[in-house]
C-alpha cells in the first residue's frame, strides 16, 4: 500500500506501483490541472511539487511518492491568488494556456529557493518548461513581479 498526501489530504494507492503519478492525479484523483505534454519529462506541462520540489509527474512512479507530499496547481492556493498566479493574470502570460500550470508550478518552486532572481537565473530555472506560444518574456516578467510581492 502506497501512502502519501495530495494537496494536504492523506491518500492511499494499491494499484500498479509503476504507474506514473500523472495518471493517478488526472484519472483517479481528478486533478486535471496537471497536464500531459510529452510523457518523457521534456516539456514540463505535468510539473507538480513533491515535498516542495518541482518534479515531472509523467516520470515519477507511484512507488516513488510513498511517504511524500504532492502539491498540484489545485493545491497552491484556495482562491487562486498565490503571488505567482496573480502575476500571471496581471501580466496576461497565457496565450493558449496549455503549459501554464506547469510553468506556474516550476516558478513557485524556483521562487521558494531564490527570492530575488535575475533574468539568467529565471531562464535557467524555467528552461525545462516549454511554451509553444513563446510567452517566455511575459513568464520572466511575471516571475520578477511575483518575486517582489513575495519579498
pLDDT by 10s per residue, the chain, length 151: 999 999 999 999 999 999 999 999 999 999 999 999 999 999 999 999 999 999 999 999 999 999 999 999 999 998 879 999 999 999 999 999 999 999 999 999 999 999 999 999 999 999 999 999 999 999 999 999 999 999 8
Domains: count for the chain: 2
Each residue's pLDDT tens digit, 54-98: 999 999 999 999 999 999 999 999 887 999 999 999 999 999 999
Q: Is 1 exposed, middle or buried (0-12, 13-18, 19+ CB in 10 A)?
A: exposed
- On whether both 87 and 107 belong to a single domain, the answer is yes
Domain that holds residue 116: 83-150
- C-alpha cell of 3? 501512502
CA gap 58, 42 in Å, rounded = 10
- On whether both 54 and 90 belong to a single domain, the answer is no
CATH number at residue 93: 1.10.150.120
- What is the pTM for the complete model shown? 0.96
pLDDT for the residue 4: 98
Q: Which residues of 83-116 are buried (b: 16+ CB within 10 A; e: fewer)?
A: bbbbbbeebebbeeebbbbbbbbbbbbbbeeeee
- On whether both 97 and 54 belong to a single domain, the answer is no
- On whether both 133 and 102 belong to a single domain, the answer is yes
Amino acid at each position: 500500500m502506497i501512502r502519501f498526501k495530495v494537496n494536504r489530504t492523506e491518500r492511499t494507492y494499491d494499484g500498479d506501483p509503476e504507474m506514473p503519478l500523472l495518471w493517478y492525479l488526472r484519472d483517479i484523483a481528478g486533478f486535471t490541472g496537471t497536464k500531459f505534454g510529452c510523457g518523457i519529462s521534456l516539456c514540463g506541462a505535468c510539473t507538480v511539487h513533491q515535498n516542495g520540489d518541482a518534479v515531472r509527474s509523467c516520470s515519477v512512479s507511484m512507488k516513488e511518492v510513498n511517504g511524500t507530499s504532492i502539491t498540484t496547481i489545485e493545491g497552491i492556493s484556495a482562491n487562486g491568488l498565490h503571488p505567482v498566479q496573480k502575476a500571471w493574470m496581471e501580466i496576461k502570460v497565457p496565450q493558449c494556456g496549455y503549459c501554464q500550470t506547469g510553468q506556474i508550478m516550476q516558478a513557485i518552486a524556483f521562487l521558494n529557493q531564490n527570492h530575488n532572481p535575475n533574468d539568467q537565473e529565471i531562464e535557467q530555472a524555467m528552461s525545462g518548461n516549454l511554451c509553444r506560444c513563446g510567452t517566455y518574456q511575459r513568464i520572466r516578467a511575471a516571475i520578477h513581479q511575483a518575486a517582489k510581492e513575495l519579498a
